[in-house]
Amino acid sequence: MRARRFAPLKYVGISTTGDWEFLNEQTLAMLEAQHAELPIDLTARLLSKFLIESPHQGNGTVLLKKARLGAKRATVQSGTTLHIIVPTLQCAHSCQYCQVSRSLESVGHTMSTEDLDAACDLIFDSPSRTLTVEFQGGDPLLRFDLVERAILRIQQRNAVEQRAIRFVIASTLHQLTSDMCVFFKAHNVYLSTSIDGPAWLHNKNRPIREKDSYERTWSSIDLARRLISADSVSALMTTTRLSLQYPHEIVDEYVRLGFREIFIRPLSSYGFAKRNQAKLGYSIDDFMAFYDTALERVLWWNARGVEIREVYAAIIVNKLLSTFDAGFVDLQSPTGAGVGVLVYNYDGYIYPSDEARMLAETGDQSLRMRAIRGPADKDVHVVTQLRKASEPDSVDGCQTCAYHAYCGPNPVDAQAQHGSMFAPVRSTEHCARHLRLFDGMFERLSTASEDQLDLFHSWAQPAFMRGRVCEK
């Protein structure tokens, strides 16, 4: 058992299976002293959560513990389920926080049809019966011809393969047409877009020459909801320094637009975003203050009968309250990069994650795996290194961390921030942020009302994460 003080005078004990129990100082002291005189009901609870071991432990307990660990790791072990295709880097926006360089020029920024066809075929090398194919960019809808070609090719092959396949397109939606909607409806395609808050804030964060980015995205969301389905579009937001002052306004905008989810994400440390850190960046304290207020507002709306889920909190409560892991790549340990997810990039190469291909745009190609149409030998080296750098049982700092059943190092993040995937984990932003997020959620759980606990349990169901990645 590892113990953690998540708030003044508040402790939690966590077992290797991720089961936990709130502890007071006295119980903690008794446990640390391996005191035999714990109350009988507490002893039974601690045993059932694998926080203490019985000297008479039978084979059944060992098997049960193994099954619990297996359920937590199922998403890392089931093969590559998420396949990201980047058909083009073209984009009409010039967002300062964008993680990738972008251009309206097609030449040099668009995938060849030979690479695209080969990527579609490679997807079926994964043994997983359930696959998500996500199109990222740039803005994939600027090359709808390539998206359409890929979907048709994958579906043709799937007539034989019979996998469960879900398609997602991450886009500003500015190019969306009625004809595209008809195609998307026929082929089970979902759309993911960005809404950073009210129109004035969104248009500041995501400028285009005509200054009406929000209005264009909103009119396409409306079109998709009418022609595809009411829940065909999800949205996420990126927190800039400007956003920090408006947590209520941002959440209220999502409610006003009828979204049932909001994903409150910090600024990324990749590519353009990294170069603009001095202008756009903020501290973890600033982000957490913003995040806590925004989450509070989400809970406020739920208490008034408006269903809306904050995705980051859902990811955390999934770790704490569910037997089955939802498979969020950033918190898989060892990392899901290159294992649970693969990216087929416009440049003809495969990368282990969306962030790794963004890193390559800044000149760091150390995480490039191999050419889409090349031999697979280099894959093994990159994936082995990523695994070695993210195995929480052997990484200093994680080995002793109470949250190590839920979390682990993010080697791609470490490479981006420190130039090495083996950077000391406790110095990474990923670690500092997740310590705070887990502490904050334990604090909420320790004071939650019955209704709030019910809400968190409903958020914890893993189905919500299927196919969800770090959409642009």
Smallest CA-to-CA distance from 193 within 179, 175, 180 is with 175
Which residue do the tokens 């790791």 mark? 73
Nearer to ligand SF4, 247 or 266 (CB): 266
Nearer to ligand SF4, 4 or 444 (CB): 4
Q: What are 362's two structure tokens? A: 């800044």
| DSSP reduced 3-state for 70 | helix
Binding residues for ligand SF4, rule: CB under 6 A, are 392, 397-398, 401, 403-404, 407-409, 425, 431, 434-435
Nearer to ligand SF4, 87 or 266 (CB): 266
- Least Cβ distance, residue 408 to ligand SF4 (angstroms): 5
To which H or E segment does residue 29 belong?
A: helix 25-32
Distances (CA, A) of 233 to 208, 249, 406: 22, 21, 29
Name the strands in the sheet holding 264-265, side by side, starting at the edge strand that comes first in the sequence. 264-265, 233-238, 189-194, 164-170, 130-135, 82-85, 341-344, 349-351, 370-371
CA–CA separation, 404 and 18 (whole Å):
8
The DSSP symbol for 196 reads -
Nearer to ligand SF4, 192 or 333 (CB): 333
- Least Cβ distance, residue 242 to ligand SF4 (angstroms): 29
Q: What are 422's two structure tokens? A: 């083996």
Nearer to ligand SF4, 193 or 385 (CB): 385
Nearer to ligand SF4, 147 or 423 (CB): 423
- Least Cβ distance, residue 390 to ligand SF4 (angstroms): 9
CA–CA separation, 165 and 190 (whole Å):
12
CA–CA separation, 469 and 429 (whole Å):
19
Nearer to ligand SF4, 251 or 431 (CB): 431
- Least Cβ distance, residue 45 to ligand SF4 (angstroms): 24
The pair phi, psi for residue 264, each rounded to 5°, is -90, 105
The DSSP symbol for 305 reads T
- Least Cβ distance, residue 361 to ligand SF4 (angstroms): 25
Nearer to ligand SF4, 50 or 167 (CB): 50
Smallest CA-to-CA distance from 111 within 131, 82, 85 is with 85
- Least Cβ distance, residue 430 to ligand SF4 (angstroms): 6
**Taking the CB of residue 40, how many other CB atoms lie within 10 A of it?**
7
CA–CA separation, 373 and 398 (whole Å):
37
Which residue do the tokens 């006295």 mark? 26
Contact criterion met (CB below 8 Å) for 387 and 411: no
- Least Cβ distance, residue 300 to ligand SF4 (angstroms): 28
To which H or E segment does residue 224 belong?
A: helix 213-227
Contact criterion met (CB below 8 Å) for 403 and 14: yes
- Least Cβ distance, residue 421 to ligand SF4 (angstroms): 13
Contact criterion met (CB below 8 Å) for 379 and 350: yes
CA–CA separation, 103 and 338 (whole Å):
27
Nearer to ligand SF4, 114 or 393 (CB): 393
**Taking the CB of residue 448, how many other CB atoms lie within 10 A of it?**
15
Nearer to ligand SF4, 342 or 402 (CB): 402
- Least Cβ distance, residue 399 to ligand SF4 (angstroms): 8
- Least Cβ distance, residue 342 to ligand SF4 (angstroms): 23
- Least Cβ distance, residue 276 to ligand SF4 (angstroms): 25
Contact criterion met (CB below 8 Å) for 88 and 106: yes
Q: What are 115's two structure tokens? A: 């690479």
Nearer to ligand SF4, 392 or 440 (CB): 392
